[in-house]
C-alpha cells in the first residue's frame, strides 16, 4: 500500500502527506454519505409507516405497542449506516 502511494505521488506530483490527507478526506466523505443516505431512507420509510401507525392506533388503542415497534424498525437502518461510517473511519 505504501509503495503504491509513493508511485502515485511521483506520477501525480503529490507528496505522501497530501495523499494520506486525500485518503482521509475520502474516508470522511464515504462515512458522511453512508449516514446521510441511510438517514434519508429511514425518513422516507418512517413517513409511510408512521402515518399508518397513527391511523391504526386512532382506530384501535390495543395495537399501540405493535405500531410503536413498526415505527422503530426503520430507525435501525440509521444505526447500520452509523456502524458502516465508524468502520470506514477507524478501520
Tens place of pLDDT for every residue, the chain, 91 residues? 555 655 555 567 888 899 999 999 999 999 999 999 999 999 999 999 999 999 999 999 999 999 999 999 999 999 999 999 999 999 8
CA distances from 57 to 7, 36, 76 (A): 63, 30, 22
Cα–Cα–Cα angle for 23, 29, 30, rounded to 5 degrees: 90
Q: What gap in Å lies between CA 76 and CA 14, rounded to an integer?
A: 41
Q: Quote the CA–CA distance of 67 and 54 in Å, as a whole number.
A: 8
Domain enclosing residue 35, as ranges: 2-90
What CATH number does the domain containing 12 carry? 1.20.20.10
Supply the pTM of this predicted model: 0.73
50: its cell numbers: 408512521
Alpha helices in the chain, H assignment, sequence order: 2-12, 16-59, 64-72, 75-90
- Domains in the chain, number: 1
Amino acid at each position: 500500500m505504501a509503495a503504491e502511494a509513493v508511485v502515485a505521488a511521483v506520477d501525480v506530483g503529490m507528496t505522501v502527506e497530501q495523499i494520506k490527507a486525500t485518503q482521509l478526506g475520502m474516508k470522511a466523505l464515504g462515512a458522511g454519505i453512508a449516514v446521510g443516505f441511510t438517514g434519508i431512507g429511514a425518513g422516507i420509510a418512517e413517513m409511510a409507516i408512521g402515518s399508518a401507525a397513527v391511523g391504526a392506533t386512532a382506530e384501535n388503542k390495543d395495537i399501540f405497542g405493535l405500531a410503536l415497534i413498526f415505527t422503530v424498525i426503520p430507525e435501525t437502518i440509521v444505526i447500520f449506516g452509523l456502524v458502516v461510517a465508524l468502520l470506514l473511519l477507524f478501520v
